[in-house]
Amino acid sequence: MSSANNNEPERDTLSSRLCPPAHYEAKINPVKELLNLPVLKFGPFEVGGYNWRLRLEPQGVYMSLYLVIDEPCKIGCNEEVLVDYKFFVYDYKRHKYDIFKEKGKELRAFTREKTQWGFSKFLSSDGFKDPQRGYLDHDSCRIGAELLVSKPIRTMATLTIKNPLSVDNTQKIERNPTIQRFCTSKSSPQYSEAFSHEDRKWKLKVCRQQEKGKDKEWLSVYLEAQYISPGKLLFVSAILSVLNTGHKKNEAHRVEGWLRAGEYTCGEPKFLLWSNLNKGFIQGNELKFAVKILTAVNVTRTDDLVWR
């Protein structure tokens, strides 16, 4: 469909979907009375901190539909409110919503002066009333809108990588923490003594975990950073081993994860079958480990408010 003039947006039918519009939907009944009105405004509805209305002009060869910002005086003198908008019309025949938006355009700027965007040729009157289109049901129709509002002020996050450490798997950067007075009947977490690596304190946390829906119980093992400042991230990759003094091999797993304030651990919830602990892994009342740090990357995050 060609536009009415150089400034008139060209409408594009995107697709159909079952899900209704996220922000607004109006059921109009009866449609025969709607067609006698020169203009129908409905709303308001709030999205992105602004109130919006739909403006429908049903008379003529084509029906016109516009998105209108309510109370444009709330927009600053030199501000723009950028909006990606879509219109919806319900297809009663197929039980889906047809989606319409501007062709080749993602964002439109609303200002104090430019308060509406939409289509002067949204739907032809004949097409709207065509039973094959399915837009009418017992003299009622449903029209809606969905908006993505981009505010003039946004948050810019800066991530600064500091002191990255990455070592070869064979290079020994190893610590040997121990959980003393380890108790197999204890259900609460148990911790090793703290150990230092790269100017940071660490501990190992272990707990007994029941596998959901099964009779198996596991020893879960986690590497835990002792403190991470708010706004900082830490990526760590390590090999954790629980040591065996008998004839069996040590049990080892590689773990990795992004740690932050409030989320200090990464690990393996199914590290070792709990029933295997008595097969040379418990030494007296101690559970001994080897920890090899492979990678440790510190990231500092700073947030700034910036104008678009």
DSSP code, position 17 = E
Residues 6+ apart with CB under 8 A from 135: 89, 90, 91, 92, 123, 128, 129, 141
CATH fold of 158-303, please? 2.60.210
124 CB-contact burial (10 Å; exposed 0-12 / middle 13-18 / buried 19+): middle
Res 14: pLDDT: 65
Strand partners for 31 = none
The ranges assigned to domains in the chain are 11-151, 158-303
Phi, psi of 277 (to 5 degrees): -60, -35
Say what the pTM is. 0.58
State the Cα–Cα distance between residues 33 and 96, nearest whole angstrom: 25
Closest CA to 71 of 98, 44, 104: 44
At residue 183, the pLDDT reads: 92
Under 8 Å CB-to-CB from 109, ≥6 apart: which residues?
80, 81, 82, 83
Distance between CA 68 and CA 215 in Å, rounded?
61
Cβ-based neighbours of 244, under 8 Å, separated by 6 or more: 250, 251, 279, 280, 281
Q: What pLDDT, on a 0 to 100 scale, did the predictor assign at position 146?
A: 96
The rounded distance, in Å, linking the Cα atoms of 281 and 279 is 6
**3-state DSSP call for residue 34?**
helix
pLDDT for res 34: 84
- Judge if 11-151 and 158-303 fold alike in CATH terms: yes
Question: CA 197 to CA 212: how far, in whole Å?
Answer: 35
End-to-end Cα separation, the chain, in angstroms: 33
85-112: string of b/e by CB count within 10 Å (b at 16+)?
A: bbbbbbbbeeebbbbbbbeeeeebebee
Per-block average pLDDT, block size 10, for the chain (308 residues)? 50 82 93 88 92 94 95 87 95 95 84 94 92 92 94 76 58 82 92 90 95 89 93 91 89 95 94 94 93 88 71
Look at residue 53 in the predicted model and tell me its pLDDT: 96
Residues 226, 282, 194, CA angle at the centre, nearest 5°?
Answer: 15
One-letter amino acid for residue 149 of the chain: V
In the prediction, which pLDDT does 264 show?
Answer: 93
Provide CATH code, domain 11-151.
2.60.210.10
Place of tokens 């923490």: 177
Structure tokens at 35: 């067609």
Residue 271 C-beta-side C-alpha neighbours within 13 Å: 29
